[in-house]
Amino acid sequence: MSEAPSWIQLLRTEFEPQLQSLQVRHGEVTIEVAGADWAAVAVRLRDHPDLAFEMLVDLCGVDYLEYGRTEWSTDAASTEGFGRGVMPATSGRFSFEDAPQDMAMDTPRFAVVMHLLSVTHNRRLRVRAWLTDDEFPEIASVTPVWASANWYEREAFDLFGILFSGHPDLRRILTDYGFLGHPFRKDFPLIGHVEMRYDMEQRRVIYQPVTIEPRVLVPKVIRTDHRYVQQAPAGDEDHA
């Protein structure tokens, strides 16, 4: 038996109380843990000598609102115009006030994902945690574990509105200080909330509500080809 299954089994035994799932697909290992266990699991992943994930390569937020919802339908298509076959069903096609409200979800809306690298053992691991509060998504910061998480967590806060408790300096990093909303949220209007222009009377740049209408030409399509196969081949774990 190859070496890889031994460390995967170690993940199962070492994190058995916190582990919500472990998947091996296409040679990639992903574990899910509860948000309450996020920081504690991070410390053990770094410090356990047989795991030694000493490098955080990436950390990001994910918004699963409208996940799996397609806009392309050929059952009832019109005969003219670019939009034939397109059934508007995502918030990007609507103004902020007119966005669809029927977006009930069976799972939490937000998740945080980090990608770890063990330089010592030449292994990679993906870790995901769901955030249970859609209105106030919050999770512990892993900046004390990996210093490189600092800017990644600020980016997730800026773009998704995810709060990282214990972060030393949680503030916006890509948008302006006075920016409204979080632009990577699925219900954030593509036209934004405000626009700015130079006012000749006031002789300064002013902000005002947007005056343009949303215009999305490309429909959202759920693909089902081989790149999105969900079931792992038999024996995939043994060769991870």
Which range is least confidently modeled, 24-33, 47-56, 115-124, 220-229? 220-229
At 81, the pLDDT band (50, 70, 90 cuts) reads low
Within this chain, do residues 10 and 59 fall inside the same structural domain, yes or no? yes
The CATH number of whichever domain residue 142 belongs to comes to 3.30.460.80
Within this chain, do residues 130 and 58 fall inside the same structural domain, yes or no? yes
Within this chain, do residues 56 and 13 fall inside the same structural domain, yes or no? yes
Domain that holds residue 59: 1-64+108-171
More confident residue, 96 or 35: 35
CB atoms within 10 A of CB 213: 8
Within this chain, do residues 52 and 115 fall inside the same structural domain, yes or no? yes
pTM value > 0.85: no
Within this chain, do residues 2 and 58 fall inside the same structural domain, yes or no? yes
CA torsion angle 211 213 218 221 (round to 10): 110
Which range is least confidently modeled, 4-13, 160-169, 216-225? 216-225
Asked if residue 3 is part of any domain, the answer here is yes
Is the per-residue pLDDT at 56 higher than 70? Answer: yes
Within this chain, do residues 21 and 58 fall inside the same structural domain, yes or no? yes
Within this chain, do residues 131 and 167 fall inside the same structural domain, yes or no? yes
Within this chain, do residues 57 and 93 fall inside the same structural domain, yes or no? no
Within this chain, do residues 55 and 24 fall inside the same structural domain, yes or no? yes
Within this chain, do residues 113 and 40 fall inside the same structural domain, yes or no? yes
Q: Of 176-185, 187-196, 216-225, where does the model show the most confidence?
A: 176-185
Tokens 């998504």 belong to: 137
CA torsion angle 232 222 19 170 (round to 10): 140
Asked if residue 238 is part of any domain, the answer here is no
Asked if residue 100 is part of any domain, the answer here is yes
At 99, the pLDDT band (50, 70, 90 cuts) reads low
Within this chain, do residues 97 and 25 fall inside the same structural domain, yes or no? no
- Extract the runs of DSSP E, i.e. beta strands, from 119-210: 123-131, 138-140, 163-165, 194-199, 204-209
- Number of structural domains in the chain: 2
Q: Tell me the mean pLDDT in the region 176-195.
A: 84
Within this chain, do residues 215 and 153 fall inside the same structural domain, yes or no? no
* φ/ψ (deg, to 5) at 17: -70, -35
